[in-house]
Structure 1
């Protein structure tokens, strides 16, 4: 069950974010008998998707079902959950003080950020409405489901040609719509050599039925029937807590992220990061694994600190 009665608590670790990365970290720590609270605002990036893929042993599972199963596993190891947003994060004498929107305060010795990222979509009518269904970005997450179909690549940045090549592996009916980012000369040659047409002109909207794409409609009114559209979102890490603590995000051609070292350690002492906040390309299984590694690293750090404290106490006896 979810704990909703924490006014002020002292724990070993607070994990912010209850998706795959956060749950992976929480379970690793719970299995090491650490006191752990997961604070989760309930805004999973993959909420629009019906299925998660490349998850070993759970291929095609609903993201909602996957998180529910992970929560149950974490709770079985003593992890507590607070369904709330973090409103403030500061340094405390004994670690970090985390305040939530509903007024809880949790003090933790260590902090793991697993808050993920936000997909900033192209501002084309129909893209947001079909996102995660028939508007896609990753061939490994959803490409198999549109194999052999008529696929359009909406070019908004430098990755459009790369996406076209990847989806061309899955279908012989791929078209690039130049939109706001016409491919360079070399890319055009490469696309032509592979028989991938490029349509000039800005896209005004997607013709759709519910979440099903039917066609791309250009500003001049021309329509091109399609089954799926591939876009290149800007990936913005949910890094507000990190910035509150004095951290700085790292720019990336596709957005920005929190840069980490070995096993997710950030430049801020006592803070680790795992999942999409630190790796913009991480899929569900990768995020989960990164969370486990971050959890293991935090436990080892706490073990070392406890041993050093014990040694100091023994020296003064």
Structure 2
């Protein structure tokens, strides 16, 4: 394979593949580097994505990768990019195996990591019965007993949403106390407020039978929604000096309309570039980044 390309895309999930597709169709030389650790690898099915509802994420990624592979100007490389730097002619990316490549433009579709709170039983149920997005997973647990675990002030917002899918208990964990107006809103939505902290998730993972509170009481639920803190899955944006903002749940790379970062020639797409995270948003941002990178090759010298 070559050592120099017009564009390097780091990350081969929904955002990175969508970005690379635009560049492939523009007949540009593009290298896609993928470590094959997408954020959605824990989910058995993806929902709400146009034309792909119910398709396993791994299957959607495999199909898109096979389609991208048919374009002659595309090179796919399995590996982890761990260093990136600016050079006079563009950017240099080094992989963990020591191999390095160069490009005029760089698209970071490196994603984020979910950081679950230290409550026993959460990790083994993540993306199955412990869920973060009702639009992605709510329909599948509809009309069942649902819980919302408070980890962040946004948990109130989540608790107000969830009753559209089923009867809801909001566990404040003794850390978030709603004001009078919020109590009224929660009551109007039929949300039961439980202030005693959850100590244990019950049932054989990945299912949930209920939760045991620190006072010994057991409350039966079938699924638990939770807003988790997130971290960047890669520090490449930081290495390059890309500006970031603190989003509601974690850092977000600052981007413009076509996903250009604060560093000329570097674009960012996917969950690392937006606080609104799901498959559709990721793919759309990848399209914008791919188009943005292509336009910059033409109009920016």
TM range (shorter): over 0.9
Contact 1:15 1:38 in 2 (8 A): yes
How many Å apart are 1:236 and its aligned residue? Answer: 2.0
RMSD (CA atoms): 1.3
**What TM-score, normalized by structure 2, do the two folds share?**
0.96
Partner of 1:176: 170
Please report how far the alpha carbon of residue 226 of structure 1 lies from its aligned counterpart in structure 2 after TM superposition. 0.8
Does residue 122 of structure 2 align to residue 95 of structure 1? Answer: no
Which of the residues 160, 166, 173 maps onto 2:155?
Answer: 160
Separation in structure 2 between the aligned mates of residue 146 and residue 125 of structure 1, nearest angstrom: 22
Runs of 4+ in 1 over 3 A off after TM superposition: none
Q: Gaps (5+ residues) in structure 1?
A: 1-5, 309-317
2:52 maps to 1:58: yes
User: In structure 2, what is the Cα distance between the partners aligned to 1:195 and 1:277?
Assistant: 35
CA deviation after TM superposition for structure 1 residue 239, in Å: 4.7
* Residue in 1 that maps onto 2:256: 261
Measure how far apart 1:154 and its partner are: 0.6
Which residue among 24, 28, 39 is the counterpart of 2:18? 24
Could you tell me how far 1:183 is from its partner in structure 2? Answer: 3.3
Distance in 2 separating the partners of 1:140 and 1:54: 7
Distance in 1 (alpha carbons) for counterparts of 2:243 and 2:296: 23
Contact 2:116/2:123 (<8 A) preserved: yes
Corresponding position of 1:281: 276
Equivalent residue runs for 1:189-208 within 5 Å: 189-208=184-203
The answer as to whether partners of 2:243 and 2:262 remain within 8 angstroms in 1 is: no
Larger Rg: 1
Aligned length: 299
| Residue matched to 2:76 | 81
Tell me by how many angstroms 1:181 deviates. Answer: 2.9
- Whether the 8 Å CA contact 1:237–1:258 is kept in 2: the answer is no
1:11 corresponds to 2:5: yes
Which of residues 68, 72, 78 is equivalent to 2:66? 72
Displacement of 1:180: 4.2
CA distance in structure 1 between the aligned counterparts of 2:183 and 2:44, rounded to whole angstroms: 35
Query: 3-state SS of the aligned residue for 2:191?
Result: coil
Deviation track 1:115-170 (CA, whole Å, cap 9, x = no partner) reads 11111112111111100000011110101111100001111111112111111111
- TM-score scaled to structure 1, two decimals? 0.91
- Residue 45 of structure 1: aligned partner: 39
- Give the corresponding residue for 1:300: 295
Q: Which residue of 2 aligns with 1:109?
A: 104
Residues 235 and 280 of structure 1 are in contact (CA less than 8 Å); yes or no, is this contact kept in structure 2?
no
Question: How far apart, CA to CA, are the structure 2 residues paired with 1:194 and 1:84?
Answer: 48
Unaligned runs of 5+ in 2: none
